Amino acid sequence: MMVGSELLPHGALKGVKVLDLSRILAGPTCTQLLGDLGADVIKVENPKTGGDDTRQWGPPYVTDADGNDTDLSAYYMCANRNKRSVSIDIATPEGQAQIRALAQDADILIENFKPGGLAKYGLDYDSLKSELPGLIYCSISGYGQTGPNAAKPGYDLMAQGYGGIMSLTGEPDGAPMKVGVGIADVMCGMYACIGILAALRHKEQSGEGQWVELALVDSQIAWLINEGVNYLTSGQLPTRRGNGHPNIKPYGTYETADGHVILAVGNDSQFERCATFFGLADLPKDPLFATNPARLKHREALDEALIPAVKSKTTAEIIQGLEALKVPAGPVQTLDQVFTSDQVAAREMQISMESAAGDVDLIGNPLKFSRTPVTYRKAPPVFGEDTDDVLSPDGGFLAGK
């Protein structure tokens, strides 16, 4: 937590009520963020399937006292803390009535059914907006509610492929590669959270709810960032460069005497100090390498000199030496090194919570607030553990539940 200010015992979104009809990763990422910020989140799960699909995406799973797997897979837990799990079958009239009753108390409803998928149950935005004019209704789909691909299902891998990021990822002579985690889903969830918070601000000012609609593919295209605008500006298709950078050189991973190191040389003065450290003091004086544009143009020639020089030193020697010269350099850590680091401990990026199935370790929220810190109030729930509580006559979104 940040030091120097009096911390309030709740998040900034205390009192905000979220009805979560989403599953897998994009929607749950969004609602976990809202929950961490203090919102009360009710997660609706399908009793016919045993709940969110990711409950079955294991191993690993949390085991109970007898050593048996529970339905708390690691994948499910990564995006479902600070929520209450309620078992409701929305395909039944009773389930539809329960959702509508919960929506009466909700500020936000989020869903990721296929476009039109909730209309047959009377739970789409058009069916609810007249009855609930203040409701913020967020829909996430693969390709969006409009366009020729609207009816196609959306998965992270499909979005990475269609949205172009796979064409940029991988070794120059290798196959297109996805990112190692479901980054299209995660980024879509973050965009959804931003959109919902903007809509919440509007609601506070006007009393009006609205429909927030976004697609995995749209958000994937949005975070092509510099490579996307590089193409739009030049008309030239970018090529895969492995861990290299399209606009900075040297910037990437290099083999050392005992492993690998990251060099992130962002300007010409850093390059001069970097080259001198590796015994290549003449390189910055050469017009082929004196400026970043020149180094980009002659990147292969630069690597011919730099690669063997880097490989002659150990990773620790390079990091220590370059950090002393104010040249960015760092390790390529495995996850055991990440989560045992002093930095992770200092920043509280690993947390422990007590769940219905036992203690669980989770990744912390990166946001730090001086007044309204994130809170970890409820571990990822086992399927349906809060159904009776929420659906009781005095349940729902009552404070303190």
* 64 classed as catalytic: no
Residue tagged 């020149």 (tokens): 294
Interior/surface letters 241-262, b for 16+ CB within 10 angstroms, e for the rest:
beebbeebbbbbbbebeeeebb
C-alpha to C-alpha distances, 72 to 31, 186, 216, 371, nearest whole angstrom: 18, 20, 25, 32
Which residues lie closer than 8 Å to 43 by C-beta, 6 or more apart? 20, 28, 31, 52, 80, 83, 84, 85, 86, 381
Residues 362 and 77: beta-carbon distance below 8 Å: yes
Residues 139 and 111: beta-carbon distance below 8 Å: yes
What is the number of residues in the chain? 401
Residues 42 and 84: beta-carbon distance below 8 Å: yes
Of 107, 185, 218, 386, catalytic: 185
Reply yes or no: is the peptide bond before residue 60 cis, omega within 30 of 0: yes
Residues 158 and 142: beta-carbon distance below 8 Å: yes
Residues 107 and 210: beta-carbon distance below 8 Å: no
List residues with catalytic annotation.
Answer: 185
